[in-house]
């Protein structure tokens, strides 16, 4: 008896030690892989005079598109009656942000037509505000990520992991293109980290943060499902929903009432139409900027096998979304739950792009911190995360001309960035692996539950039999 008592803690301790050793090896391998890719990218950037970097982020032909996502949106969101247009969704808080930004710039820049599109790149205030905006967001992201991984013993490893996250390809893509998704990521991360805080004020702030993220980009609303499995879920859920509604509706109604008071109904209708259009599968063919599963049907080998591409793409889209939401409710792993929620919106064709892939960073951090459930199979996930996040050097840049000819001959556009070419494939592969792991975990849980039920039933039967024998 005493020997079994001493064996159990020792076994638990040794398992913990094995898991920690595996964790250390995985983190080390991740850092080495990342740094190698970063240094190689810088080397190739020097050899190509920076063209490999710009080709990787903007494509080969786009020579002036830096920060233009931000500047174009400033011009677009400052137009009057924007909610009358049905072409896209204008999240209300994003409208507030762009309008405030536009208030600090000259009117000739904000209301410029297409010919004056690049004027903001030369403007002192426009560039200064953007640089400080990007810097502050990166600083806050760094602080939040450090807070999440602070349990790692080595300070050097914490610093290196944080550095890797900050210079990861999705984040670089975000800040170089000027995508506001990075701000939504910041607020979503606040929610994911602090929603379980012991401090009531921090918890409340986390719910507000999610509401702000939803106001900026709408799709982070999916993270609200994380509250379902918590204590007092209804109370937290309803409060967060109220915050989201207030932050979404109040600015929306203010803009519509002040700019287009006669057409409130049309504005709401247009916004709903724009929302539904996000799920439309495009027929434009392969788009390496998209991470959606619909892109895969247009990939070189796959498209030759499939005849009705749009139909198959729609089937793939809706079935993957359905699978993700079902598995979310069945999953017991925190990082996989967050991954499945992230998958839900990254997979939507209308919003899927390389910048939104930055939402995979909280998933990676949660995965890296999940030491207790570390298995050998997690090496595959580490490799996938490392490949998706590392800025992979554009090895084939110097053969771009020949490869462009070959790609055009085979009917698809040439993409210089290996990150973009592999990103959607690796992301979908990760989803498939998560699905497999979850299904295995569910089967295992069911089996265990069945065994426990069998033992319970047989135990009850044994007692009944004993009682019967006694009465007899």
Partner 1 sequence: MIKRNKPVLNAQQYNDLLIKFFIVFFVINMAVCLIFGFISNGDAISIMLNGHGKPPSPFRDFYESIYDGSKNYSYTQSGNIYPPVALLFFRFMSKIITPDLLSLWYRYIGRMLCDQRTMIVFLIFCIICLLWMYNMLNKKFVSESNRKLAPILCFCCIFSYPVVYCIERGNVVILSMLLTMFFVFARNDESKYVRELSYISLAFAAGTKLYPAIFGLLLLKDKNFKGAIRTIIYGFIVIAVPFMYFYILDPTTNIELPAIFTASASSADIQTNVAAAEETKGVLKSYIDSIGRLFNRKSGWVYFGSVSIENLAFMTMNTKTKDNQELRGEIGKILFWASEIIALSLFFFAKKEWQKVSLLTYLMLNIPAASSAYAMTFIIIPFACFVCEKEKSKIDWFYMACFAILLSPLPTLWYFNHALFKALYKSYLGIAYIPSLNKLTSYVIYQLMHLVMLIQIITITFSKDTEKKDEMKNKPIECQEFTELEEAVI
Collapsed DSSP state (helix, strand, coil) of residue 414: coil
Nearest to 396 by CA among 387, 384, 406, 386: 406
Residue 169 near residue 354, CB atoms below 8 Å: yes
The total of other beta-carbon atoms located within 10 Å of residue 172's CB is 20
Identity of the residue, 209 or 352, whose beta carbon is nearer to partner 1 in the bound complex? 209
Q: Residues interacting with partner 1, by CB under 8 A?
A: 45-46, 49-51, 53-54, 57-58, 63-67, 100, 103-107, 118, 121-125, 127-128, 131-132, 134-136, 138-139, 142-143, 166, 175-176
| Cβ–Cβ under 8 Å, residues 97 and 76 | no
Query: Least separation, in Å, of the C-beta of 51 and partner 1?
Result: 8
Distance CA 37, CA 390 (A): 6
Closer Cβ to partner 1, 128 or 466, answer by number = 128
Q: Rounded to a whole number, what is the largest CA-CA distance in the chain?
A: 100
Q: How far is the CB of 139 from partner 1 (least distance, A)?
A: 5
The least CB distance from residue 362 to partner 1, in Å, is 19
- The C-alpha atoms of residue 197 and residue 462 are separated, in whole angstroms, by 47
CB of 124 to partner 1, least distance (A): 4
Give min distance, CB of 71 to partner 1, in A.
12
We find the least distance from the C-beta atom of residue 56 to partner 1, in angstroms, to be 11
Contacts of 420 (CB under 8 A, 6+ apart): 56, 288, 289, 354
Tokens at residue 93, please? 């808080």
Nearer to partner 1 among residue 63 and residue 413 (C-beta): 63
Specify the residue, 167 or 299, whose C-beta has the smaller distance to partner 1.
Answer: 167
Of the pair 129, 278, the CB lying nearest partner 1 is at 129
In terms of CB distance, is 127 or 278 closer to partner 1? 127
What torsion do the CA atoms of 437, 440, 441, 442 make, to the nearest 10 degrees? 120
d(CA 200, CA 198): 6
> Residue 170 Cβ, how far from partner 1 at the closest point, in Å?
15
Least distance in angstroms from the C-beta of 324 to partner 1: 34
Smallest distance, partner 1 to C-beta of residue 116, A: 13
The b-or-e profile of 90-129 (16+ CB within 10 A means b, else e) is bbbbbbbbbeebbeebeeebbebeeeeeebbeebeebeeb
Nearer to partner 1, 100 or 463 (CB): 100
Cα–Cα dist 270/265, whole Å: 9
CA distance 327 to 347: 16
The SS3 of residue 278 is coil
- Measured from the CB atom, the residue of 38 and 384 that comes closer to partner 1 is 38
* Of residues 48 and 333, the one with the C-beta less far from partner 1: 48
Kindly state the smallest distance separating residue 424's Cβ from partner 1, in Å.
24
Q: Which two tokens stand for residue 421?
A: 């070419």
As measured in angstroms, the least distance from the Cβ of 188 to partner 1 is 20
Q: How many Å apart are CA 208 and CA 222, to the nearest integer? A: 15
CB of 241 to partner 1, least distance (A): 30
DSSP string for residues in 98-121: HHHHHHTS-HHHHT--GGGTTGGG
Distance (Å, rounded) from C-alpha 293 to C-alpha 431?
A: 10
Which residue's CB is nearer to partner 1, number 45 or number 416? 45
CB distance 356 to 188 below 8 Å: no
Q: Which is nearer to partner 1, 139 or 228 (CB)?
A: 139
Tokens 């762009």 belong to which residue? 98
Nearer to partner 1, 51 or 204 (CB): 51
The encoded tokens of residue 173 equal 């893509």
């Amino acid at each position: 008896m005493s020997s079994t008592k001493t064996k159990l803690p020792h076994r638990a301790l040794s398992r913990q030690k094995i898991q920690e050793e595996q964790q250390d090896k995985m983190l080390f391998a991740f850092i080495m892989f990342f740094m190698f890719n970063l240094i190689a990218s810088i080397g190739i950037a020097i050899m190509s005079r920076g063209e490999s970097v710009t080709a990787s982020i903007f494509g080969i032909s786009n020579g002036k598109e830096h920060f233009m996502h931000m500047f174009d949106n400033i011009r677009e969101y400052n137009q009057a009656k924007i909610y009358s247009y049905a072409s896209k969704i204008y999240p209300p808080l994003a409208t507030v942000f762009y309008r405030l930004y536009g208030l600090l710039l000259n009117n000739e820049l904000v209301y410029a037509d297409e010919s004056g599109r690049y004027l903001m790149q030369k403007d002192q205030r426009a560039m200064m505000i953007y640089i400080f905006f990007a810097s502050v967001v990166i600083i806050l992201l760094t602080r939040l990520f450090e807070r999440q991984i602070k349990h790692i013993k080595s300070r050097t490893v914490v610093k290196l992991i944080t550095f890797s996250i900050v210079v990861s390809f999705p984040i670089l893509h975000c800040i170089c293109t000027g995508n506001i998704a990075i701000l939504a990521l910041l607020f979503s991360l606040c929610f994911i980290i602090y929603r379980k805080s012991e401090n009531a004020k921090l918890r409340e702030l986390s719910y507000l943060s999610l509401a702000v993220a939803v106001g900026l980009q709408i799709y982070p609303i999916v993270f609200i499902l994380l509250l379902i499995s918590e204590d007092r879920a209804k109370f937290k859920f309803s409060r967060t929903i109220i915050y989201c509604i207030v932050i979404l509706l109040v600015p929306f109604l203010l803009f519509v009432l002040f700019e287009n008071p006669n057409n409130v109904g049309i504005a709401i209708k247009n916004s709903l139409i724009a929302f539904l259009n996000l799920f439309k599968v495009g027929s434009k063919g392969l788009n390496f900027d998209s991470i959606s599963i619909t892109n895969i049907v247009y990939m070189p080998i796959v498209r030759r096998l499939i005849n009705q591409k749009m139909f198959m793409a729609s089937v793939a889209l809706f079935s993957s979304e359905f699978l993700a939401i079902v598995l979310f409710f069945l999953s017991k792993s925190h990082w996989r739950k967050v991954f499945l929620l992230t998958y839900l919106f990254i997979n939507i064709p209308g919003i899927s792009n390389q910048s939104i892939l930055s939402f995979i960073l909280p998933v990676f951090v949660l995965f890296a911190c999940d030491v207790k459930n570390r298995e050998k199979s997690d090496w595959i996930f580490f490799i996938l995360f490392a490949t998706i996040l590392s800025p992979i050097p554009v090895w084939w840049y110097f053969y771009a001309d020949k490869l462009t000819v070959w790609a055009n001959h085979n009917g698809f556009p040439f993409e210089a960035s290996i990150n973009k070419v592999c990103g959607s494939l690796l992301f979908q592969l990760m989803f498939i692996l998560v699905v497999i792991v979850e299904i295995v975990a569910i089967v295992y849980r069911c089996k265990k539950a069945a065994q426990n039920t069998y033992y319970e039933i047989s135990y009850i039967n044994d007692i009944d039999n004993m009682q019967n024998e006694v009465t007899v």
